[in-house]
Amino acid sequence: MAQKTVLIVYAHQSLGSFNEAVRDVALQELTKQGYKVIVSDLYAMNFRASTTREDIIGDLKNPELFQYGEESMAAWKEGRLSDDIVAEQRKVEEAEFVIFQFPLYWFSVPAIMKGWMDRVLTQGFAFSLQKLYDKGALKDKKAMLSFTTGAMQTMFRPDGINGDINVTLWPLQNGVLHFCGFQVLAPQIFWGPAHCPPTVRAAMLQGWQTRLQGLVAEKPLTFAPSDLFDL
Ligand code: FMN
């Protein structure tokens, strides 16, 4: 049987960060389980975040007005996307499970990871007007957000100062991942590791390892079926 593959899309600048420790627990545990684990270390790769003309090889369909969505879709169809995008799309194709590992920035992913989403999840490759949400092009794959915060958990409760964490995550979990078809597993959230003593941080990592051991059996989050809606 072919080896199963996990892709970790990783965004942290610093060696020795808590995010790095979290990534390494996943790398080691999933490797132990027999997975091939690919890591896209976005800062180390100097991954470009901006959606520009450089992403398209060759002539534009409409040189008068550069429309990134149209041009990138056409380039995907014709094999004219830039090499760095194609390399990431190959990894997504190979993986059955994608983990996004990052520190929460402004209630979202760091810009470099948003750039990965903007550039790699091209129309045609990840979705089309006919292939959205539970019919999305990546519907046979799972994905999850795994991230650290500066905030304490109480701040992200429905009655907390930041509001409900599920509302914060809706654009990423529904608007990006589920939109492309991914079956989205519950997020893994490390609350304020920088404010915790080493024993608590170690317990967080242990909890993550334990969760990873049962990850295959986890049921994805529930979203409203797309058939309920008129497009
Ligand atoms: N923490 C939050 O809880 N919510 C935020 O919206 C948030 N935005 C941030 C934006 C920026 C630009 C930076 C630098 C930090 C932000 N933080 C926020 C704090 C980081 O999430 C926190 O420092 C990080 O998760 C700690 O992980 P690390 O020790 O691996 O770096």
What value does the mean pLDDT of the chain take? 97
Alpha-carbon separation of residue 230 from 114, 125, 182, 183, 225 (angstroms): 29, 23, 21, 21, 11
**pLDDT digits over 49-82, tens only?**
999 999 999 999 999 999 999 999 999 999 999 9
Query: What pLDDT shows up at residue 231?
Result: 73
Alpha carbon of 50 to ligand 1 centroid (Å): 21
Mean pLDDT of 17-34: 98
Contact in structure between 132 and 226 (CB atoms under 8 Å): yes
- Burial of 32 by CB count in 10 Å (0-12 exposed, 13-18 middle, 19+ buried)? exposed
Query: Could you give the number of structural domains in the chain?
Result: 1
User: Which residue among 17, 105, 191 is best mutated to probe the pocket of ligand 1, counting the most ligand atoms within 8 A of its Cβ?
Assistant: 105
- 138-150: average pLDDT: 98
State mean pLDDT over 165-184. Answer: 98
Q: What is the pLDDT of residue 100?
A: 99
> Is residue 158 very low, low, confident or very high in pLDDT (cuts 50, 70, 90)?
very high
> What's the pLDDT score for residue 106?
98
In the prediction, which pLDDT does 1 show? 62
Q: Which domain holds residue 116?
A: 5-228
Q: Give, for ligand 1, the residue of 114, 148, 188, 190 to mutate: max count of ligand atoms closer than 8 Å to Cβ.
A: 148
Q: Say yes or no to pLDDT of 143 above 90.
A: yes
What's the gap in Å between 95 CA and the centre of ligand 1? Answer: 28
CATH number of the domain to which 137 belongs? 3.40.50.360
- Token output for 180: 């492309």
Q: Of all residues in the chain, what percent carry a pLDDT higher than 70? A: 100
How large is the average pLDDT for residues 142-149? 98
- Report pLDDT digits (tens) over 37-46: 999 999 999 9
- Mean pLDDT value of segment 3-28: 97
Q: State the closest ligand 1 atom to the C-alpha of 108, by its place in the atom list counted from 1.
A: 6
Mean pLDDT across 193-211: 97
Alpha-carbon distance of 116 to 99, in angstroms, equals: 13
pLDDT tens digits, one per residue of 89-135: 999 999 999 999 999 999 999 999 999 999 999 999 999 999 999 99
Give the pLDDT score at 49.
98
Residue 224: pLDDT above 80? yes
Which residue, by CA, sits nearest to atom 13 of ligand 1?
105
